[in-house]
Every structure is written in structure tokens, then in C-alpha cells.
Chains A and B, each alone.
Chain A
Amino acid sequence: MHGYEFYVDPSRCIGCQSCVQACAECETHRGTSMINFDFIDRRGTTATAAYVCWHCEEPTCAMVCPADAIKKGEDGIVQSSLKPRCIGCSNCVLACPFGIPKIFPEYEQMMKCDMCYDRTSIGKRPMCATVCPSQALAYVRPEEIAERREKPTNIFYFGNQKIVTLVHMMVPAEKNAVSLDVLDYMWEESYDVFSQPQ
């Protein structure tokens, strides 16, 4: 990606939705935003999170697609479903551990973030990360991200599934991976194949 990497840091997100608005301005899917944006729990907190597709090395969405409609390019970008192949079955929507793909009934197709392919393939930065006022979404060189408090990881554990992604998550400096399963943190747990992401 011309020396740039994509980093996501929800702790910096201010919920402005500039990414959502700017994504819809991108040439390839004009008018439709591919950002996954959430108010985590507005009653309790102003915390928000904006995500792009994580572009997995071994994309679960592609693995479960019965129509072989989801392709990963040589650049590591996992693309939206191929329109002629997609049957709109939602397997990918259900299987993605990050909850990224969406079915757009008006297009009868799964579409998702393609890392602003039209921009990044020619060395430009993606719309969302360029405009993001708080740089919760950042598309920068690794040496620039090294100046931050948090550090990047691209290893995620979902139970027994280890996922390595193209996009990085910023995590506390002492962490090396993100695990969402309590088992990974338990002393008496003997599963050691993928355990102890620390």
C-alpha cells in the first residue's frame, strides 16, 4: 500500500461520523457508506467506534461463501462480492467475526469496505482515514504510528480461531494481540494452542 498501513483506534473516536459521510463520497460506491459505525452504549457513555473491513489474511467471509463471490487481491485487499456471483445468502454476514459485511437489498449484493481501492491502488489515502478529525482511523507510515501511546497489533483470537489482518488495531502498549475469549485469560485453562495472546 505504497508504504502506508491502516490503523484503527476506537479510543480516539469522537463519534463525528465524518468517515461515514466521506466514505459515501468515494468514486467506487458513491452515495453508499461502507463504514461500520456504532454508539457502543449511548446511555452510559459517549464512546463510539468506527471500523473499516479488517482485510483478513484468510478471510472467513470468502471461506464460507458458497458462490465463491469474495476475492482477495494480491495486495491483500478483500473486495466486495462480485456482483454476477453473489447470491445474497448472507453467509458472510453471519460468519465474519468482526461483523463487517452487509447485504444491500437494493443491489442484491454483499458490499463492504474495499479500502478505497480506487484511491489506495494509486498511492492516495482512503477517504475515511484522510478526513478522520481524531485519527481514530489512520492511514499512515509505521514510523508515524510508533509515536502514539498505544501500539498496533493485527493478531486477533476468537476462541480457537486466530486471525491475522491487514488492518491494525491500536491496543495498550503491553498487549500483542486482541483476544475476546475469557478462556484465554484463565490460569486453569489448558488450551494452549492459541492461548495467552500476551
Chain B
Amino acid sequence: MAKPPASTEVLTERFGPHPAYTPPGGWQDESRNPAERLVKTHCCFCGQQCGIQLKVRGNQVIGFEPWEEFPFNEGKLCPKGVKRYMQGGHPDRLLDPLMRTADGFRKATWDEALDFTTNRLREIQEKYGKDSVAVYGGASLISEKSYLLGKFARVALGTRHIDYNGRLCMVSAGVAYKLAFGVDRSPLPWSDIAKAHVVLVAGANVAECAPITTDYLWRCRDAGGKLIIVDPRMTPISRNADMYLPVRPGTDLALYMGLLHVILRDGLERRDFIAACTTGFEQVAESVRAWDPRTAAEKTGVPPESIERAARLFAKAERGVVLHARGVEHQSKGVENCLALINLCLATGNIGREGAGCAMITGQGNGQGGREHGQKCDQLPGQRSISDPEARAHTAKIWGISPDEIPQAGYSAVEIMEAIHRGEIKALLSACFNPLVSLPDANFTREALEGLEYFGVVDFFLSETAHHADVVFPGSLQEEEEGIGCTTEGRVIHIQKAVDPPGNAKADSFVYIELAKRLGKERYFPYNSTREIYDELREASRGGHADYYGITYEKIDNNMGVFWPCPSLDHPGTPRLFEDGRSFHADGKHHFVVTEWRESGDPISADYPIYLTTGRVVSQYLSGTQTRRIGGLLDQYPNPKVEIHPRLAEQYGIKDGDWVTVTSRRSEITLQAMVVKTIRPDTVFIPYHWPGRRSANRLTHRTLDPRSKIPEFKVSACKIKKANAAPEWALSSADAIGTSRSKG
């Protein structure tokens, strides 16, 4: 049984989240004890991985200084980046291994925690088979750790079930780019955004989720470029847009097929490019024939005139860029949405040249790098397919095992939780993942976790998910282990180690290497440093699409990052893909792929007549397990609110600040209303960073895109009603801890 050993209140009292407001030693300490060195590294949050300098004194990060020479962000940082340094000396930091007791957690030694874990995993695998154990990884881990985790699952545990929280990020885009281009990477460097003549931003709240990208958009505009923003909410970037298209949640595909319809109807496609560089155009042209602007308008709620105008604006520009993110990807037709956007770019010849192309804005820290080298259920290092015999042979050789010993593809993140729920998977080892907050249908996730026979967690703070753990290994922050990451641009960057993990906490890689040792697989994990892991990763990626062979730590430092593929040590890297007109497919062509309309997995009905869409706020990162502990960030947006249009609010007698109960087919939560004209009146929005009774994911559903296995966070059906009183959580100290604004 893996129920939490104590109440949320008791565990929160001991392990937080407690909001920290001051740096280690207090605000005035730095004037007495100045920083000893500045470490040039990167922000730990979000896929942009901005350059930042950490101020270090002794073994403590005490502040930051902008890193203006790093070309991507030139010193710019969002509020999360500014305050990221407050994690290292945080009072909630886990400093010792923890083991569950009858009424809480006790400190344990590393040997005790590792031996207990090894024994339990052995017993469970002997009793139920190898695949009864699953591993969860995280996209915020450096690439060395994600590589190690993939190898650990397959070689040390021999399980096929390893997947990661990037499954909740941009995997729909990854699948679409592989289908269209044969490779999963944004094909352009961000500097191309500023050079475009028109940018279509599709389902991307750039201002809040990728704030630094805003300046690229504004610079595009300064140079005369036009902006088209598609979103059910008028996000901050929408107010400077040349066109704002308020798409109904879950209908993006109809809009993009409508745009292509107009382009082809008016003969605005680039015939020469299509003939020379692509396949499949005729089938796609046929598939959009039915999507005239009127039909598309009826589906999407975007006026037919706007569809006509946007199509012409995009197609007539010499250089067009499409940027997309979770808005289109978090749908049960997420792959189709991305393909439809790629089709627009291919039809207009916008790929492989300066200021043109389509790009996914990857969300998570090392979201790009973390998915390339083996913690994805169906991939081996270098973006190789686990079902490809040649890829298996290559990887097996590097790992020193036989290809048959590499398990086949396993379940994806949500499927793993479902297998745990039905008792097929009995044990889980989870790193850098807080599924109780981030997976859809949170009550289902909780039930699943309660049924685990063994649950081990590697983390630096005790997340809400870790309340269910048998063993918690105190791991490392990003700045406590050297390695590499890859940004949303495809730029491989060097994460410097600034300090050692505090107390008895250890570098994450130590945990997997030690467990492998105890599982009798020591010879496959002979590493003394992450650099040694990286050198093996380089070899493992060699010849794959994500080829890192020519990228060394030193080369990254000397060049402010290197874009993959980089197949040899003298190769300069590849900032822009497909400049020779060829894709990564064997035929060298870009593939148009037909998209087919279908309804969302949780359709609105008479009982649930309102769309619910979820997303983020600028001051919080993912499940909030890091950012809900930083006072300054928490104060910016302490608790989730429900955004409601005044017209909808009036219909239900709701005023700004009233308590509103939002009910879906799964569950209900009660939050305060934020009555704003910046959202469609048929839709409500809730940010998802909070746990328990404030968790938007109690409402969402587990419908997955059939190819990418991404959950449909962006479209659920709900109903709303005004609540008569404040909910229990607003009165309880455990949940409302962020509401206190007192400093200290």
C-alpha cells in the first residue's frame, strides 16, 4: 500500500512547500560576504534554457547576474529565471534519504535506502516479471541523466517500461516532425523569427510560457513583420497582433485546413518548391477541399473573412514562420494539428531558408535534449527507433550487450499510470516527475499510486507525488551536476556544476549507478563522472539523426552552444535544417501528410456545456514543486483562478472574486473567478500548477492522441456554478500556504 503515511497537512508542515523570500544568509549578507565566483550556466526552467550567471560563495548559490554575452537571451530572464537561485539553500531541500514509517518518513542512510530498493525491485521482478517495474524520467534532467536513466531501465532493470514527463509536453510535435521531415527538432534557429515577414503563432502563450521569445516577435514587428495569433484567450502578445483569431478549443485543425484551402483555391502555393522537394501534396490538397472558410468558421468560431485574410497574409509573405506550442499539441489530434501547420509551411515553401519555417516551442527545461537519448519509451539514443534492428544493434554494441537483451518499446507515461492502476505494473521508480499534479485525471493517478507495491522517488524537494513513496532519494538540482542540455532551437548547451549537493543529498546519477551495482550490473555502468557518460552518449548518438558525436563540452563553451546534428569534431553544427532542400527521410523529400478531422475525447454536452482549457502562468513552472516554494513567484499568482468572460459570468450570476465550482465528468474543484474579456465566452481557463483541491488536473481526462500519446489537457467539457462559500482548501493551512503574503 502506498497511501501517504500522514495527512497532507502534516507532510506539508514538515516538507513544504514553504515560500522562501530571502537568499541564503538574508538580503544584506552579500554586502558583508560577497560572491566568490560567477558560474556561466543556464536557467533550469523551460525549453529556452536562457544563459545566466550564478553567484556562488562557498558551496552555496547566493544570487544571479545576467549573462549578456549568451546570444539567445542576451541577459534577458523571466521572473522564474531571476528567482531560480533560491532553491539551493531552501529550507525544504531534502538532505537525507527518507524511508516511509507508519506515520511519516524517517531519515535513512544511503545504504539502507539503496539496499531496500534493490531487494524490493528484485522480489517484485522475480514474482511478476521484468516488466512489472516501470521508470519515470523527466525532461528537466540534463541529457547525461536521461541517457543514463534509459540505459538503467533497459540494461539494469530489463524493463521495457520507461517514459518521461516530456510526454506531457511537445510529443505531438515530435511525431509530426518525424512524419513530415524525418527528424524531431525545430528546423530553425530563433534568429529566423525576427527575420520573418509574417509569423503565425498557433496555441502558444509566448508571453507567459516562453517569455524571451517575445522579443524575437517584437523585433520581427519592428522590421515591418506581421503577427497572426491563434488562441482561445487574448494572451499578452495578442494585443500587438495584426490579426487575432479566437479559435474554439479543440478546433485548431479545422482552422489550419481552412487556411490551406484558401491558399490552394487562390493558387498561392509554391508549385516549384512542392514539385522539387515534397511528396503527398495532391492527397493533402484533396483533403482540404471540403474546408472552405465558411465550414472552417462554423467549426472554429473564427470569422470566414479572418480565415481568408490570414491565409493570404501568410501565403503572400516571402518569408513565413509558424510557431506552435501546447495549445495545438495537447489535444487528442495534436499530431494532426502540427501536421496541418507543417502542410501550410510546405505548401508556401517556407522551410529550409532564412526567416522561414515552422518551429515547436519546446516547454520543459531540457525538453529537446531530454527526449533524444533514450528515456522515451520507443527510442534509443540519437533519436533512434527502438524497433529498428539496426538501431538496436548499434546501441547494444555500445552498451556491451546483445541486441536481444534490449527490451522492445514500452508504455508511454499515461499508459504506465493506467497499467499501475490495473495492477499490471507493481513498482515505480520516478525521477524529476510529479505525476499527481501533472498527469490528467488526478484522482485516478492517486488511486494508482496507492496500489504500488514499491515506489521510489529521486527528487530534491518532497513533491506531492513523493508523499506516496516508500523511499525518497535526495537528488541534485540542475546546478549540482555537470552536463549538457538542448534548447528549443536545437542548440546544445553546457550546464556547469556550480556547487555540490548539500548535506547527504547526492548527484542523481549516483542513485542509478549505485542501484545498477546492487542489481549486479556494475560492469555496464563504469562511470566516474557525467563527462564519461556524455562521451558514451556521443558515441551512442553517432550516425543517428540527433548526432552529437562532434559536440564536446569545450566546443560548446567556445561557440556559445552547438546545434545538432554535428557528426564530426570539425563540423560547425547545423543551426538551420534542410538548407539543401532535403529532409531527413530516406527519399530526401518533405512529406505532406493528410490530416483528418475528429472530435475531442471529452465533448461538450447539455450537462457539460462549457469548454475547459488548462495552461500556465508566467511565475510558475510545470507542477510547481520548485516554483511554489519561492515566495516572490508565489505572490505573483498565489492560487489558481478560473478565467471567465463577463458574458458567461453574468449568465451564472458570478462576479470577479466569487468562488466558483467547476465540475467535469471526473471531479470538481472550487476556485475564485477572474472575470475578464480576454477569453472566449464558451470557455473557462485554469492554470494547472497546483496540487490537491486546487488541481486543474482533477478535471481533465485521459484521452490520448493515438500516435503521440499526449493527453488532451487543452479540451475538456465542464459546467460551472457559483459556490456559496469559500472551499475548505482556502481555510486549510496546507493548501492555502501560498496565500500568506507576509515576508520572512
Contacts and interface: CB of A to CB of B under 8 A. Distances in A.
A135 B68 CA distance: 14
A13 B214 CA distance: 9
Contacts of B222: 147-149
Given A12-B214, A131-B82, A147-B223, 8 more contacts: A14-B211, A16-B79, A16-B211, A16-B619, A21-B632, A45-B239, A46-B238, A133-B211
Interface stretch (A22-30, A72-80, A158-166): A22-30
Interface in A11-45: 11-18, 20-22, 24-25, 27, 30-31, 42-45
B82 A47 contact: no
Given A14-B237, A21-B79, A131-B76, A43 B656 contact: yes
A15 B21 CA distance: 21
Contact of B77 (A11, A20, A22, A24): A22
A60 interface: no
Given A134-B211, A135-B218, A17 B79 contact: yes
A155 B240 CA distance: 25
A28 to B, nearest CB: 10
B676 A42 contact: yes
Contacts of B240: 11-12
A134 B214 contact: yes
A94 B263 CA distance: 58
Nearest to A20: B79
Nearest to B637: A17
A10 to B, nearest CB: 11
Contacts of A22: 77, 79, 82
A148 B224 CA distance: 9
A130 interface: yes
Contact of B208 (A11, A12, A14): A14
A168 to B, nearest CB: 16
Contacts of B403: none
A43 B236 contact: no
Given A14-B214, A27-B31, A43 B676 contact: yes
A21 B211 contact: no
Contacts of A30: 27-28, 30-31
Interface residues of A, number: 34
A132 interface: yes
B632 A133 contact: no
B489 to A, nearest CB: 16
A149 B677 CA distance: 28
Contact of A43 (B619, B636, B677): B677
A131 B66 contact: yes
Nearest to A150: B222
Interface string A82-124: 0000000000000000000000000000000000000000000
B64 to A, nearest CB: 7
Contact of B68 (A11, A44, A125): A125
A45 B214 contact: no
26 contacts: A14-B207, A16-B78, A17-B79, A17-B636, A18-B77, A18-B78, A21-B632, A21-B633, A22-B77, A22-B79, A25-B82, A30-B31, A31-B22, A42-B676, A45-B234, A45-B678, A46-B207, A46-B239, A125-B75, A130-B68, A131-B66, A131-B78, A133-B78, A134-B218, A148-B222, A149-B221
Interface string A40-80: 00111111100000000000000000000000000000000
B33 to A, nearest CB: 13
Closest 8 CB pairs of A and B: A14-B207, A133-B211, A31-B27, A30-B27, A14-B236, A134-B214, A21-B82, A21-B79
B59 to A, nearest CB: 21
A27 B64 CA distance: 11
A46 B77 contact: no
| Among A12, A131, A135, A149: residue with most chain B CB under 10 A | A131
Nearest to B237: A14
A64 to B, nearest CB: 31
Nearest to A23: B82
A40 to B, nearest CB: 11
> Interface centre among B79, B235, B677, by most A CB within 10 Å?
B79
B370 interface: no
Given A16-B79, A17-B79, A30-B30, A133 B212 contact: yes
Contacts of B223: 147
B66 to A, nearest CB: 5
A12 B237 CA distance: 8
B678 A133 contact: no
B704 to A, nearest CB: 32
A149 B75 CA distance: 23
Contacts of A149: 221-222
B218 A130 contact: no
Contact of B75 (A21, A130, A147): A130
A14 B234 CA distance: 12
Interface string B66-78: 1010000001111
A167 to B, nearest CB: 19
Contacts of B239: 45-47
B689 to A, nearest CB: 15
Contact of B632 (A11, A24, A43, A132): A24
Contact of A133 (B214, B221, B238, B636): B214
A20 B31 CA distance: 21
